[in-house]
Amino acid sequence: MNSTTAPNNRFASPEIGLTTAPATAMLKLTDIEKVYQTKTIETVALNRVNLTINKGEFVSIMGPSGCGKSTLLSIMGLLDEPSSGQVEIAGRPVTAYSDKELAHLRNQKIGFVFQSYHLINDLSVLDNVELPLLYRSSVSGKERRQRAHAALDKVGLSARTNHFPSQLSGGQRQRVAIARALAGNPELILADEPTGNLDSVMGEEIMDLLMGLNRHDGVTIVMVTHDEQQALKTERVIRFFDGSQVS
Amino acid sequence: MIRHLFTLIWNRKRSNFLLMAEILLSFFVLFVVSVLLVNNYYNYRQPMGFRSDNVWEFNINAGQDTVARRAKLRLLVQELQATPGVVAITGTSSNTPFSFSTMNTDEYRYQGKPVGGYTDRYDADDDMVKVLGLNVVDGRWFDRRDDAAGRRFPVIINQAFAERMFGNEAAVGKVLTNEKKDEEWHVVGVVEAYRSGSDFAANEPAIFHRKVLQDTSRFVQQQVPELLVRVQPGSGAVLEQQLVRKIKSVTKGWSANVNTLEENRRDKMKFLVTPLAALGLVGLFLIINVALGLFGVLWYNISQRKAEIGLRRALGATGNGISGQFLGEMLVVTTLGVLGGLVLAVQFPLLGVFGVASQIYVQAMVLATVLIFVLTAICALQPSRIAAGIQPAVSLREE
């Protein structure tokens, strides 16, 4: 990452997080560029993106395939580094954060929902949902179980705790993925085409679930989607084309 | 996290089964090799019970000369003894130290009870204690008092014999018999040890029977005994030639081969170490194959689990955490394989397969366990580092 601002307020302890953040912006991207470079070709995936997502917003990102939506989501989720520009989470620039600090931030603040669910097939539903809590040393095994059960209850899958992903339908798998994101009690959920692999009925169910989380629990959600109808249900639609924000 | 790793391994037990089986077999091979190594090392650390430095062995061949052997031998010993540089001479049976000849028997009984296993038997005269520097810990060595022993022949035993036959009781004064009770042996002394086979020989029960050197009639088939000669330190080829010349001149035609006990010791060592080294090499190649197999399996595992690695990174795992997880998984699989191997290994002391002390098996189990864990950790290290370096955004997109 290129940045002129050095981080000055890192986490004091693993569980404290960014509790002193004063801004209402949950996520702020400034002049973000992402360039993939090979020996012969330079591909610009994102071109000077400036974007602010406020706390409690439900934003959708739309655009044709290959326009940089998923790359943007990866940068927002601190899974990828921009070639230049600055990322701020809750008012704090994370440009120079170490691998450990970024991992901690992802674990504490961000929940992920993927198009292809990304459940671990060899773990039960309950074990899958527990995963983010596994990386929090302060959470006991008992508490992990309780929070995983509560998250599964929220998505209506409390009867499936001992099932394995292969025994579930696509919609149920996505619910498990949402429960996994919720178990960590994140302030921000990044959803990459969460209904992309589902039929319209199941897609609607998942959208209702996400909207409920946004409205009732105040979770900030950024969703990448190809579905215009679903995008229109969100508070704000951001459109991309060839790596640039067009609206 | 440990519980999570066990859950993951258990749920993947089918795919991990072959890996566990490979580790179990590797452990087993390492255990068997370790038993041999530990046992040999343990024996090597035991006292030999005698000194082989500055002792020459004369293998005398009387050929067809059967005339007055006893008298010639008496004269020969006197002449050799009188040679400057010679400290002491003893005659013994063909199972001299480090030779390839052994004599053993299970005939000894005390109050009807056998010693258990075989006892190495040696013929010795009154001067063997001086020549070999034997350490008499109880009673005495043979001397002229034993000339009047009658039918109850004097014998000297080592401590291993005494402990096995008499336990904590004093051995000196005890009378041994054979199974038919038509022969009796009177224990007159106990030596610390006599591991004459090699540096790796076990400290097994040993017994010395008194044979007066000059009395060739008491050696088997009137053979001339082997002569062991202790010489002054620094004695060399000149003394050797002198002694050989004396043998020829005194006996008129007998020949002699001379070796030092140290030469015999080295030859025996080479003879024993060569097959051990060959076995070790075979074991090493096997272990290298296993290591390459483990390395390949882990490499493949990681390439198959890139999406999972990306997911875990997204959920809060650090690169080092991912590396630690793969290493941990490998160690859990190793633990399960080793546990299976230990169940097999425990049968060895229970069944007494190699006939060595239980502590040898225990030490071999510990050694094999440590080696297999080190091996798997080394094999897992590089693939785990690769896993740690996988970019989460890329791996999540790959699925």
Question: Which of B220-224, B369-373, B381-385 is predicted with the least confidence, judged by mean pLDDT?
Answer: B220-224
What's the confidence (pLDDT) of residue B47?
93
Mutate to test the interface with B, among A81, A104, A105, A134 (most CBs of B within 10 A): A134
Query: What average pLDDT does this structure show over B347-353?
Result: 87
- For residue B22, pLDDT beyond 80: yes
Q: Is residue A134 a part of any domain in this protein?
A: yes
Using a CB-CB cut-off of 8 Å, the residues of chain B touching A70 are 397
Q: What is the per-residue pLDDT for A21?
A: 41
Q: pLDDT at residue B268 above 90?
A: yes
Residues of chain A contacting residue B391, judged by C-beta atoms under 8 Å apart: 79-80
The H-or-E segment that residue A103 falls in is helix A99-109
> Which one of A71, A75, A114, A164 makes the best mutation probe of the B interface by having the most chain B beta carbons within 10 Å?
A114
Q: A103 and B317: CB-CB below 8 Å? A: yes
Cβ pair A132:B316 closer than 8 A: yes
For residue A177, the domain's CATH number is 3.40.50.300
Structure confidence at residue B43 (pLDDT) = 92
What is the share, in percent, of chain B residues with pLDDT greater than 90? 44
Q: Which of B11, B315, B392 sits opposite A122 (nearest CB)?
A: B11
What sections of B235-353 are H helices per DSSP? 237-251, 261-304, 306-315, 319-351
d(CA A179, CA A132): 11
Residue A4 lies in a domain: no
- A118: closest chain B residue by CA: B311
pLDDT digits (tens, 9 = 90+) for A211-231: 988 998 889 999 999 888 889
In a domain, A2, yes or no: no
pLDDT reported for residue B216: 54
ipTM of the modeled complex: 0.84
- Any residues with CB less than 8 A from the CB of A233 and at least 6 apart, and which? A207, A211
Distance of CA B243 to the CA centre of its chain: 35
Q: Is A123 on the interface with B (CB under 8 A)?
A: yes
Total domains, chain A: 1
| Domain-located, residue A20 | no
Is A138 at the interface with chain B, CB within 8 A? no
Q: What's the distance, CA A105 to chain centroid?
A: 12
Distance (Å) from the C-alpha of residue B332 to the closest C-alpha of chain A? 16
Residue B222's pLDDT is what?
55
pLDDT of residue A206: 86
Domain span at A77: 25-245
Q: From B393, which residue of chain A is nearest by alpha-carbon distance?
A: A79
DSSP B3-64: HHHHHHHHHTHHHHHHHHHHHHHHHHHHHHHHHHHHHHHHHHHS--SS--TTEEEEEEE-TT
What is the Cα–Cα distance from B310 to B392, expressed in whole angstroms?
4
Phi-psi region of A110 (alpha: psi -120 to 50; beta: other; left: phi over 0): beta
Contacts of A107 in chain B (CB under 8 A): 315-316
Cβ neighbours of residue B259 closer than 8 Å, sequence gap 6 or more = B56, B57, B59
Tell me if A11 is assigned to some domain: no
Question: Which residue ranges of chain A lie beneath pLDDT 70?
Answer: 1-23
pTM here?
A: 0.73
A96 touches chain B (CB under 8 A): no
Whether residue A148 lies inside any domain: the answer is yes
Taking the Cβ of residue A161 and every Cβ of chain B, the question of whether any pair is shorter than 8 Å is answered with: no
A9 in any annotated domain: no
Helix (H) or strand (E) holding A153: helix A141-154
Distance CA A193, CA A21 (A): 29
pLDDT of residue B338: 95
Give residue-wise pLDDT tens across range B125-172: 999 999 999 999 999 999 988 887 777 899 999 999 999 999 999 999
The answer to whether position A16 is within a domain reads no
CA-to-CA distance for B7 and B325, rounded, in angstroms? 13
